[in-house]
Structure 1
Amino acid sequence: METNEYRHITNFFIVGINYKKTDASIRGQFAINNDQYETLLHTAKASGLGELFVLSTCNRTEVYGFAHHPGQLIHLLCTQTAGSAETFSKLAYIKNGHKAIEHLYSVAAGLDSQILGDYEIVGQMKLACKFAKDRGFIGAFTERLLNSALQSSKLIKNNTELSGGTVSVAFAAVQYIRNVIAKPSEKNILLLGVGKIGRNTCKNVVDYLETQNVTLINRSPEKAAELAGELGLKYALLENLGEEIAKADIILVATNATDPVIRKEHLEGGTDKLIIDLSIPYNVADDAQVLPNVHLVNVDELSKLKDETLKKREAEVPKAKAIIAECMCEFEEWQQMRRHAPLLKTTKLKLKEIHNNPDFICSSTGCSKEADARIQRVINDMAGKIRLKNGGACHFFEAINKFMTTGTAQS
């Protein structure tokens, strides 16, 4: 049964793996799609865990939430993954309290991204949190924390060059094509998957390779048709995948299928192909990757690309961290005051009780309105003193005394 007793900042955890200690093949074992996310949240509720969300991208899988101990979150995640809890635990980072909060801010800012300053993480985080919120798993603490982290990220984007220039996995794919393929605009390009990364990659292909020689395939054909119509491209049905692969020179894969979409029989004996797999888990079968006519690049290899843009971004890191520190300070001040909310509420009720007591004399006209205003002034003063000096009971008695004194003074 769910309880609130453990929902203290010291019981707020993040458990996760990312690109720093794992390659894409390992991360793929712990990737979570929406169906798995849905089941995971049902399991969480049955386990008494009620405030959490999962962030699963090509670079990371992380669970943020309240628990009695981090093992609960690891076990919860791994009820839905191909990888085991034992493997995850060996590779995972675990943070709680202040450190977990700081990590969330860093992720939202793009400081922890595989490509420094990659702003796509913000959209992914918003979707992950909305999914959890729609199912009742985002409480007051988590919502305030997320809003603060996203506000911090926005301030960093608007006031630094951390996300300046054009560098992302989607752009890196196009940059790679330009570097290794002569006259790429004359090649037949096939793009599988038109989700967020697929759409961004597609637009970069059109803009930077200056070509419309692109065919789109998506599990939902209407989405492929919509994007194709928007950009003046072609689209094909999934059942024609083998035929389209045979015609393609360059294949970009950005699907979220749990099993490989491109198999050995699609490629064996065919023409030379450059395949860029942006999917986690990989959507090109292992035995297809080693065929002599296939040159395959995955997200980890793309993310190693460095240029002047990244050097400029690195110089902005101190500014970004300063903004994060300021936003974290404001959040933690809110968290401190939230702890004292029951005391402030109790004090306010007590002051109203005193005011309504016949023994408490108040003869001025409009007494009720004036009393409400006076009570609120006393509460505001009390909150300010708690913020500056902390404390609790001493401020309660001081507030009672102050209200009694000012009340009788008007009699």
Structure 2
Amino acid sequence: MIVAHPLMLTNFFVAGINYKKSDGEMRGRFAINTDQYSKIINSAPDYGVDSFFILSTCNRTEIYGFADNPDCLTELLCSQTTGDKRTFTQLAYVKNGRDAAEHLFKVGAGLDSQILGDYEIIGQLKKAIKFSSDNGFINPFMQRLSDHVLQASKLIKNSTDLSSGSVSVSFTAVQYLKQHISSNSKHKILVIGAGKIGRNTCKNLVDYFGEADITLINRSMDRAAVLAAELDLNYASMDDLSAYLNISDIILVATSALQPLVSAKDFQGTEKKLILDLSIPYNVDPAVSALPNVTLINVDELSKATDENLQKRRSELPKALAIIRDCMADFLDWYEMHKISPVLKAVKTTLSDIYRQQLAVTKKTDKAVSYKYETKVQAVVKNMACKIKHDKNYGCHSLEAINEFMRAVAN
């Protein structure tokens, strides 16, 4: 069992790669699914990591946590990826302390996403934190930080237009279809995957192509059946995937398989097809794009599609950043109080001992007198906390608090 790291900003790091310096194929080498996450959880103590979480989406893979240095986190992450630590380090950004915390605020608000204002990221962030928390790997610092990040994201969503228009991969996919295919009801649409992105994709398809013949296939057929019943879709077994690939003219893939589920050999005819691969790592073999009459669009290409609302959302950035600054300040206030809480507790204990000694000498046992002393203790400790936060001087203010208390009880 490793010793927990002190809850200090200096021990908090984030190391990650994202779309800015790595393409989808490269990001796929470092994508983390649930099984890999579980293995990383189990081996974390071996790497000197006692509190962390991993955010793995189509845009990024990041590990946030407490460690002696960021190498501990990157080694832990790369222990379960197909990509190696050396490659990850060459592409990665590493942030520490306040910079790492501020980065998480921006990620949670969708400011660092390939699609500005992406509202799917906050659900993915909640899921990542919960997974680590359920396994005992979220300390009070990270829990409080994540609470403030979620609060900032909610405030930005409700009080700005940053999330207006096309602000998620699933929504952008359907917008792309609207721009590039006819709106008739003869389309046979296949969706592979019933996770968060797959579910949202199905909902958006129903909204815009409700008359089309839409079929859902998922590794868990029960999960596919539940979602299909909810949205009035067709569903089929993964065993029938090849048949549905051939009869469908529009295919959307949103799965988390480590290897491609769809390859060139799955297609037998030359019918015209449009395939959108929303997965990282890619779940459609790039060789499929060489097939006649097949158009394959991956998540990076999709995110670069024309977005009429982009300029409007960019104009909301100052408001969003102001909200982040306020929430970040609230978090740092909590952090400063948390740092000095042992000192305050020690002073409070000392003052309480002094007033009990005073009561013993004077032989006063009246409840009103005891309440008076306790009230003075609380007031002195509160005043001391304010001064420490301002001056960052523990020892001086500890002595001052004792003197202040002695003057107070003497009156």
Name the SS of the counterpart of 1:307 in structure 2.
Answer: coil
Aligned to 1:311: 311
Deviation of residue 166 (structure 1)? 3.8
After TM superposition, list the pairs within 5 Å mapping 1:42-57 onto structure 2.
42-57=42-57
Structure 1: gaps of 5 or more residues:
none
- Give TM-score, length-normalised by structure 1: 0.96
Aligned to 1:379: 381
- 8 A contact 2:12–2:67 mirrored in 1: yes
Deviation of residue 385 (structure 1)? 1.8
Q: CA deviation digits over 1:244-271, x for unaligned, max 9?
A: 1111011110111111111222114342
- Tell which deviates more after alignment, 369-378 or 137-146: 369-378
Aligned to 2:392: 390
Aligned to 1:404: 406
Q: Distance in 1 between matches of 2:246 and 2:17?
A: 36
- Tell which deviates more after alignment, 201-210 or 127-136: 201-210
Deviation of residue 388 (structure 1)? 2.7
Q: Distance in 2 between matches of 1:110 and 1:160?
A: 13
After TM superposition, list the pairs within 5 Å mapping 1:153-232 onto structure 2.
153-232=153-232
Name the SS of the counterpart of 1:297 in structure 2.
Answer: strand
Q: Distance in 1 between matches of 2:262 and 2:350?
A: 70
Structure 1: which amino acid aligns with 2:366? T
Deviation of residue 376 (structure 1)? 1.3
Q: Distance in 1 between matches of 2:92 and 2:212?
A: 43
1:363 and 2:364 equivalent? yes
Structure 2: which amino acid aligns with 1:302? L
Q: Distance in 2 between matches of 1:243 and 1:308?
A: 37
Q: Distance in 1 between matches of 2:380 and 2:392?
A: 16
1:96 and 2:96 equivalent? yes
Q: Distance in 2 between matches of 1:335 and 1:233?
A: 49
Q: Distance in 1 between matches of 2:28 and 2:21?
A: 13
Name the SS of the counterpart of 2:255 in structure 1.
Answer: coil
After TM superposition, list the pairs within 5 Å mapping 1:11-410 onto structure 2.
11-357=11-357, 361=362, 363=364, 365-366=366-367, 367-409=369-411
Deviation of residue 4 (structure 1)? 3.5
How many percent identity over aligned positions? 51
Q: Distance in 2 between matches of 1:247 and 1:341?
A: 65
Q: CA deviation digits over 1:110-166, x for unaligned, max 9?
A: 100110001110000000000000111111111111111111111111111111224
Structure 2: which amino acid aligns with 1:393? G
Q: Distance in 2 between matches of 1:365 and 1:319?
A: 56
Deviation of residue 396 (structure 1)? 0.9
Q: Distance in 2 between matches of 1:362 and 1:123?
A: 61
- 8 A contact 2:48–2:72 mirrored in 1: no
Deviation of residue 289 (structure 1)? 3.1
Structure 2: gaps of 5 or more residues:
none
Name the SS of the counterpart of 1:118 in structure 2.
Answer: coil
For the structure 1 residues 224 and 199, does the alpha-carbon distance in structure 2 shift closer, same or farther, using more than 3 Å as the test? same
Q: What do you get for the CA RMSD once the two structures are aligned?
A: 1.6
Name the SS of the counterpart of 1:377 in structure 2.
Answer: helix
Q: Distance in 1 between matches of 2:363 and 2:123?
A: 57
Q: CA deviation digits over 1:46-82, x for unaligned, max 9?
A: 3221111000001100000111111111111100100
Q: CA deviation digits over 1:175-225, x for unaligned, max 9?
A: 111222223532100110011100111111111123241011111111111
- Tell which deviates more after alignment, 361-370 or 59-68: 361-370
- Tell which deviates more after alignment, 89-98 or 43-52: 43-52
Structure 2: which amino acid aligns with 1:75? E
Structure 2: which amino acid aligns with 1:363? K
Name the SS of the counterpart of 2:260 in structure 1.
Answer: coil
Q: CA deviation digits over 1:302-356, x for unaligned, max 9?
A: 1002323111000011111111111111211221221111110100111111122
Q: Distance in 1 between matches of 2:347 and 2:363?
A: 19
- 8 A contact 1:362–1:407 mirrored in 2: no
For the structure 1 residues 319 and 223, does the alpha-carbon distance in structure 2 shift closer, same or farther, using more than 3 Å as the test? same
Name the SS of the counterpart of 1:340 in structure 2.
Answer: helix
Structure 1: which amino acid aligns with 2:297? V
- 8 A contact 1:354–1:360 mirrored in 2: no
For the structure 1 residues 267 and 333, does the alpha-carbon distance in structure 2 shift closer, same or farther, using more than 3 Å as the test? same
Name the SS of the counterpart of 1:357 in structure 2.
Answer: helix
- Tell which deviates more after alignment, 142-151 or 352-361: 352-361
- Tell which deviates more after alignment, 352-361 or 54-63: 352-361
Q: Distance in 1 between matches of 2:156 and 2:321?
A: 9
- 8 A contact 2:258–2:281 mirrored in 1: yes
- 8 A contact 2:261–2:284 mirrored in 1: yes
Name the SS of the counterpart of 1:186 in structure 2.
Answer: coil
